[in-house]
Amino acid sequence: MTSKAPTAVALLGGSFNPPHIAHVLATAYVLSTSSAQQVWWIPVFRHALAKRTELLPFSERSTMARLACEIFGDRVLVSEIEREMGGTSYTVDTVAELQRQNPNTAFFLVVGSDIFAESHLWKDWDRLRELLPFIVLHRTGTVPPPGEPASPPLPPLSSREVRERLLAGLPCDTLVPKAVLNHIHTRHLYSGDHI
């Protein structure tokens, strides 16, 4: 990704459909409190867990992720590794490929405390836990698993809520980074079937 790879990188995966302020706050928290020199946002290419909503095309979500990360400069990158790998996206495979490509980089996986309740749905969860340490972000309404330190609670915000508000014509100025919201309005995203 860069000519001189950082020695510690936190990975923040997601649909980013669209990216919202909780993603930005999570990134700021990780950069401020962990040993990660960079955070790499990893938009999902093809979601492994069936979702009722359709994802916008990868290129749109990747563009919005880049716009959301602009405020961090070179401390945050958007990786297209899952598009490059193709097929269904599984975190364990993505992590293994990033470790193969960057053998001198220590990776951390940023996860919400809510995913531990869904760990049985993840491919090779136990192997993933062995591959790299987790940075657990506290999601409102969940309890971090025992032994996992967690951040202060993030705002209870989801991309689905943002999509529904956009579709209803409700303001999202405080929920979505300005550059992302401008892109959404300019491109007329989330104004029809994609909620």
**Which domains does the chain possess?**
8-156 (3.40.50.620)
Residue pair 108/11 in contact (Cβ under 8 Å)? The answer is yes
pLDDT digits (tens, 9 = 90+) for 96-128: 999 999 999 999 999 988 887 788 888 999 999
The whole-model pTM stands at 0.90
21-33 and 58-69 are packed helices; what angle lies between their axes, rounded to 10 degrees?
50
User: First vs last Cα of the chain: how many Å apart?
Assistant: 32
Distance CA(139)–CA(114), nearest Å, equals 6
pLDDT surpassing 60 at residue 195: no
Cα-based angle 73, 75, 134 (whole degrees, multiple of 5): 145
pLDDT one-digit tens code per residue, 46-103: 888 756 567 899 999 999 999 999 999 999 999 999 999 998 889 999 999 999 999 9
* In the predicted structure, residue 194 carries a pLDDT above the cut 60: no
3-state helix, strand, coil in the chain (%, to 5): 40, 15, 40
